[in-house]
Amino acid sequence: MAAQNKQEDDVVKQEMAYYKKYREILPTLPVAKGWFTEHLVQYQGFWLSQNLALKSALWIQQEFKVQPTDIFLASFPKTGTTWLKSLIFATINRTRFDFSTHPLHTSGPHDCFPFLDGYVHQSHETISDLDALPPPRLLSTHFSFDLLPDSMITSGSKFVYICRDPKDVLVSNWFFLSKMRPKEMGPLSLQEAFELFCQGISHFGPYWDHVLGYWKWSLENPEKILFLKYEELKKEPLVVVKRLAEFLGQPFSLEEESKGVVEQIIRLCSFESLSNLEVNKTEIFKYKDDMILDSNSFFRKGESGDWKNHLTDGMAEHLDKITLGKLSGSGLTFGCN
């Protein structure tokens, strides 16, 4: 029965406009080496896995129905997505759940705050259920600003974006994607990952273009998108979480602050707390039928500056030079020398 349902889902999807476009454009796209897939394809200036991300991008552009109350978390992979998902979920729902029996104790952050990018790979019924989720829907995406449909940009929905020092992004992606890389492909060396990253060839990259797209949008529409840095969140979580709540239209009251609600949310969502929960140590995360990850894969170190333990001085200097050049004149910095 399950196999029959999957076949029926596949037939339905293949009749949809996004899938027809996928078949039409795939042979025409530039190709480069993938990190955990054999190839990446370049679509509208960004490198995507052809079977996963490209299909998702086309589905979002052509089929996804945005709602004005939606809250989107946009991010490049391994920039603090898991942490920020839990903080937003806990902040938005702080009057619904008691901290002692909070859903984050028994469900992973990616279950509480699902990837919009992954819906196209689910059953047709699950996709239909997306429209019925109670507002505000919390949805995350790794796609760049340039790949978003106009409906998402012009609707009343809000975006939160988080970025991180490119050196840490490179190292964290290399560790994470190495776990996803099939054994028959052999390991991807850090040197090779470094060279690809510097060329802009990474899943959802180039990284600098990804960051700049949302950065420029935040300068033009600060009421629409809150732009955050991972390093600032690490340094001053209390300040950032209060900014987050205010931006999302749910500022903390003086009573909540006096009762330590902000601190409770920060403790609940801390790396130490989340990484030690049974659900995040032993459960699995299913992105699609043939892509299942251990939930603990999303929790490595949760630190800033771990790149110093892996990159040579020459690698770091080269990345900093690229970053300074790419961000020149934008007003955005990552603390490069």
The helix/strand/coil state of 7 is: helix
Distances (CA, A) of 331 to 214, 233, 328: 13, 19, 7
Instruction: State pLDDT tens for residues 142-153.
Output: 999 999 999 999
Listed residue (268, 203, 242) closest to 32, CA to CA: 203
**16: pLDDT confidence band, cut at 50, 70 and 90?**
confident
Rounded to the nearest 10°, the torsion over CA 253, 255, 256, 258 is: 120
Instruction: State pLDDT tens for residues 224-268.
Output: 999 999 999 999 999 999 999 999 999 999 999 999 999 999 999
Q: Which pLDDT does position 337 carry in this prediction?
A: 41
pTM of the model: 0.89
Instruction: State pLDDT tens for residues 60-108.
Output: 999 999 999 999 999 999 999 999 999 999 999 999 989 888 888 888 8
pLDDT beyond 60 at 204? yes
Residues that are catalytic: 142
Q: Give, for 42, the enclosing helix (H) or strand (E).
A: strand 39-43
pLDDT beyond 50 at 299? no
Contact residues for 2 (Cβ-Cβ < 8 A; gap 6+):
none
Q: Are 196 and 202 in contact (CB under 8 A)?
A: yes
Output the six-digit token pair for 169. 């992004």
Query: Angle at Cα 127 formed by Cα 94 and Cα 176, nearest 5°?
Result: 70
Report d(CA 187, CA 313) in Å as an integer. Answer: 23
Compute φ and ψ for 303, nearest 5 degrees. -120, 160
